[in-house]
Structure 1
Amino acid sequence: MINNKEKYTNIIKAEANRLGFLSCGISKAGFLEEEAPRLENWLNKQMQGQMFYMEDHFDKRLNPTLLVNDAKSVVSLLINYYPSEFQNNDSYKISKYAYGKDYHNVITKKLRKLLRSIKTQIGDVHGRTFIDIAPVLDKAWAAKSGLGWIGKNSNLITQKVGSFYFIAELIIDLELEYDSPTTDHCGTCTACIDSCPTQAIVAPYVVDGSKCISYFTIELKDNLPQEMKGKFNDWAFGCDICQDVCPWNKFSKPHNEPLFNANPELLSFTKKDWEEITEETFNKVFQNSPLKRTKLEGLKRNITFLK
């Protein structure tokens, strides 16, 4: 006989699949004991750079019961963004996650549909949706939920589909069946560490955020440091190097979310097009895009640095 916890878990996972999530794993909400000293050490070494928001809400980052009253379960969800078409070879590069519409909006709508469906099918369930702008350690929860392991490049990796996906959560006040973590399959591979041009992966499983190309091209608002000149490998927004070289990403499959498809104009851009981009073109090609975060001014700063 199926108990309620198993029944509700099956409902949630079936709905997640129906809404287009790649996979769904569930953990018991509580304090992340193993992550606490790691996060504290990372912050003490100032590896957050100017991402000062990482210093905020330390306790909440480690304990979802401080974010949602009477939280019982963390439902972790993956959604694929690996593209079927790629940028022109003669182009400044942007991270694949930024090819389409802003994922925050796309995924938040799916999460809200999932929460509504849970309430409709199960009853009086309370919770909140999260997609990387709240103090939630999403990779830690996804790993705890058995969706993959955190690799040497600090990304969540799965054997079946690699690492090109977004991670989101529902934190709810409903007890469910909980999944078990998987094992680490990085082995002796150091491809990500060896390939990082700015040596941001300072040790296996430790990324100094203040040395990462994604940090420089997106988060850093000051002038780019001259000692990094020539090390960005034509990345103008974000960087995928440590994922592109990961052997597990040979199993990546194209997504099926139309809103993540790239504007055809972006795919045909040459370096000359990037260098001459106008406000009008930027707004047209990157309407509701993650690139809006840097604004045209920031993008031009990055491109000038790459020339």
Structure 2
Amino acid sequence: MEITSPTELAYLASAIKSWGYILGFGEVRIAEIDIEQAESNLRNWLARGFHGEMHYMAAHGTKRSRPHELVPGTVRVICVRMDYLSAKSKEPETVLNIPTLGYISRYALGRDYHKLMRKRLQQLANRIESAIGPFGYRAFVDSAPVMEKPLAQNAGIGWIGKHTNILSQDAGSWFFLGELYTDLPLPSDKISESHCGSCRACIDICPTQAIVAPYQLDARRCISYLTIELKGSIPEPLRPLIGNRIYGCDDCQLICPWNRFAKLSDESDFAPRQELDASRLIDLFAWSEPEFFKRTEGSAIRRIGYNRWLRNIAVALGNAPKNPDVVKALKARSDHPSSMVREHVAWALNQQENVL
């Protein structure tokens, strides 16, 4: 069935949103594909080296910022939001305030969202196809050169805040984004306007001052980059600032006043696994490599691998209150096969032993 009239397309757009809500998305909106300003911003960001080792951000040329070049025929992007903050997880502030516990970014506590959301997007595409017949589309969930945040802003899901995350007046920022690139000329939604105003809470709270100016993030200083993306040694001056954050950082979200309106998720796949919402650093550091891979099965955490996991925890142990049990745990790893792990263990031991 060929859908061409404005009335038919408007009806289809409304139906797509209803189907998306049924599938568990918190919001479904439709974006124009022109993100020219975002392309310019990305070029400037890369020129300043703010991407660090994330060389993939400089790859693919204009395919990242021009959807029709990545997927020929694309004229609209169906953008979806899925809330992930689980009501079953320990309060983030509580964990951050107990330095013997390991803090893991709330998005990574449950099942890896990529597969879950991609499956739901495919189901949405199947539902559209069953209604109108074959059409051109491709689903993305942080899986290709897609500028999901500018597209989400175009779709009206939210605006890009001063911390560079997407913010919604109705849902804060605790959500994932996904996209269906499509050749359907659906009516687009109204672009979101910024509502950050003069607030600079996220800038001031950042432990490493990675938000160097409003809307400008130097990823090389960001704890999420340092604990997840960075493959080698964490710069020494930044280690004490990481505290007990062993995978990612949520400080800029925790302080944001718009997160008063965040929606808690009842999605069972986003509930904490393996008690990772509030585990003792010493216990996590004792995991063997097989245990690490077993306990992180189906989790986004697995992508950093065992050595970076130990690296991150070693830094957190170095920042923990001075304790003989911490020293004992660190010394047990002092001859680890990885030179990177040994380096961070030695630093942590120095932090501990100098004050014991």
Under TM normalisation by the shorter chain, which class is it?
A: over 0.9
Measured at CA, do residues 277 and 220 of structure 1 come closer, stay the same or move farther in structure 2, by a change above 3 Å? same
Distance 1:200 1:279 in 2: 32
Any idea what the Cα deviations from partners look like across 1:65-94, whole Å, max 9, x if unmatched?
012221121111100101113345441111
Q: Which residue number in structure 2 is paired with residue 295 of structure 1?
A: 305
What does residue 111 of structure 1 align with? 121
Alignment of 1:133-212 (within 5 A): 133-212=143-222
Cα 1:268–1:191, aligned 2, differ >3 Å: closer, same or farther? Answer: closer
Determine whether 1:16 maps to 2:20. yes
The separation in 1 between residues aligned to 2:163 and 2:50, in whole angstroms, is 14
| Partner AA of 2:55 in structure 1 | F
TM-aligned CA distance change 1:267 to 1:182, over 3 Å? closer
8 Å CA contact 1:91–1:271 kept in 2: the answer is: yes
1:229 counterpart SS class: helix
Higher Cα radius of gyration: 2
1:101 equivalenced with 2:111 (yes/no) = yes
> Which residue of structure 1 lines up, in the alignment, with residue 30 of structure 2?
26
Alpha-carbon contact 2:32-2:154 (below 8 Å) kept: no
Paired AA for residue 124 in structure 2: L
Give the TM-score normalised by structure 1. Answer: 0.96
Task: Name the SS of the counterpart of 2:64 in structure 1.
Answer: helix
* Structure 1 match to 2:323: none
Q: Deviations over 1:179-231 (max 9, x none)?
A: 01122111111110000111110110111111110000001001111111210
Counterpart code for 1:196: C
3-state secondary structure, aligned to 2:177: strand
- Whole-angstrom distance in 2 between the partners of 1:117 and 1:158: 27
Compute the displacement of 1:57 (Å): 1.1
**Is the 8 Å Cα contact of residues 23 and 78 (structure 1) preserved in structure 2?**
yes
| Aligned 8 A contact 1:163 1:243 in 2 | yes
- Asked if structure 2 preserves the Cα contact closer than 8 Å seen for 1:218 and 1:237, the reply is yes
- Give structure 2 stretches of 5+ with no counterpart: 319-356
Deviation string, structure 1 residues 219-278 (Cα, Å, up to 9, x no partner)? 100111111121012110011011011011122222121111111532452122122222
| Mapped partners of 2:73, 2:63: distance in 1 | 14
Structure with the higher fraction of residues in helix conformation: 2
Aligned residues: 306
1:42: which partner in 2?
Answer: 45
- Name the CA distance, whole Å, in 1 between partners of 2:274 and 2:232: 31
C-alpha separation between the residues in 1 aligned to 2:38 and 2:273?
39
TM-score w.r.t. length of structure 2: 0.83
- Runs in 1 of length 4+ with deviation above 4 angstroms? 87-90
Contact 2:104 2:276 in 1 (8 A): no
In 2, the alpha carbon distance for the partners of 1:238 and 1:19 equals: 28
CA drift of 1:280 comes to 4.0
Residues 265 and 285 of structure 1 are in contact (CA less than 8 Å); yes or no, is this contact kept in structure 2?
no
Specify which of 200, 205, 219 is matched with residue 229 of structure 2.
219
Deviation at 1:32, TM superposition (A): 1.8
- Tell me, in whole angstroms, the C-alpha distance in 1 between the residues paired with 2:277 and 2:270: 13
Identity %: 38
> What aligned pairs does 1:262-281 form with structure 2 within 5 A after superposition?
262-281=272-291
- Distance apart, 1:37 and its partner CA: 1.5
Conserved 8 A contact 2:31-2:189: yes
- Separation of aligned partners in 2, 1:202 and 1:134: 27
Q: For structure 1, which runs of at least 5 residues remain unmatched after alignment? A: none
- Per the alignment, residue 70 of structure 1 pairs with 73
Match of 1:3 among 2, 7, 10: 7
In 2: Cα distance, 1:79 partner to 1:86 partner: 17
Q: Which amino acid is the alignment partner of residue 47 of structure 1? A: F
Tell me, yes or no, if the aligned pair for 2:162 and 2:203 is still in contact at 8 Å: yes
CA distance in 1, matches of 2:47, 2:6: 48
- After superposition, the CA RMSD in angstroms is 1.5
2:131 maps to 121
